[in-house]
Amino acid sequence: MYFYDANGDKLFQDLMNCEEYYPTNCELEIFSEKTADICNAIIGSGDPFDLIELGAGDATKSTYLLKYLLEQKADFNYLPIDISSNVISYLNITLPVTLPGLNITGLNGEYFDMLKKASSISGRRKVIMFLGSNIGNMPVDAAEQFCMDVRNHLSPGDMLLIGVDLKKNPKTVLAAYNDKEGITKRFNLNLLERINRELNANFDVNQFEHYPTYDPETGACKSYLISKADQDVRINGMETIHFVKDEYIFMEISQKFTVQQIDQMAIKASFKPIAHFFDSKHWFTDAIWVAQ
């Protein structure tokens, strides 16, 4: 989350709109064209439920579902969760205007703290949404543990709607994290600039270069910053950190999965996978799991 200061937010929005970064458009296609199918799976027998979104952001994708659920007169409440108070304030103000009749309770804080709070607010059936392949922003073992932790906050019959980026041609994956405009590069270097500003450091961002890798065997796409020279960096009066030329800083991971791996992850976390919704290229899936 340290990537996302004001400039980081803007750069990430720019990245989502750039030609090479396919995940956003793939998932938008799923939500816009498979709206009814997803919602009907969520509604199930028609019992009232709470639709809880982890990391709601601007709720662009969710709005497709919210609108359809309102049109179908589904009995539900929408509880977006986000670490950003600005995001929650924005959603609390704007969504009731754009979606009249929506019952919304925005929750500002860490995911699992807010899931506990959601349970104290309502005892309804829960449908958790975790979109955007955010599950890929952690190594596989951590992703599996995250899903287990989510399951521990649910009761049998509750659901998880999870967006996952799929393994595909390595060139396509790598291009998404090494765009021609250099947005991903600026996004990663912005973290050094934030450290300079907020922790009184003296990183020379011109002395680091962006280096992404993708391993088609493991599905791990990783981003690094590589030191261009021997250099010393001071952070907030701490002991000086020495970088040798070509030394790396690991920045982030964007893990890709197969459908089989996704289903196995569900089962390992005590869910039953019941549906996959794909974009037209089969580059991305939104899967529905039911807590067992």
| Lowest-confidence region among 8-17, 122-131, 147-156 | 8-17
Which pair of structure tokens corresponds to residue 117?
A: 């709070």
Q: Which helix (H) or strand (E) holds 225?
A: strand 220-227
Cα Rg, the chain, nearest whole Å: 20
pLDDT value of residue 1: 58
Which of the pair, 5 or 206, is modelled with greater confidence? Answer: 206
Q: Which domains does the chain carry?
A: 34-166+257-291 (3.40.50.150)
Beta pairing class for 49-54 and 125-130: parallel
Q: Where does residue 22 fall: left (phi above 0), alpha (psi -120 to 50 degrees), or beta otherwise?
A: alpha
Q: How far apart are CA 284 and CA 277, in angstroms?
A: 8
Please say whether the beta carbons of 102 and 62 come within 8 A: no
Q: What's the mean pLDDT when you consider all of the chain?
A: 95
- Whether this model's pTM surpasses 0.85: yes
- When pLDDT is cut at 50, 70 and 90, the band that residue 220 belongs to is very high
The tokens of 152 are what? Answer: 């521990």
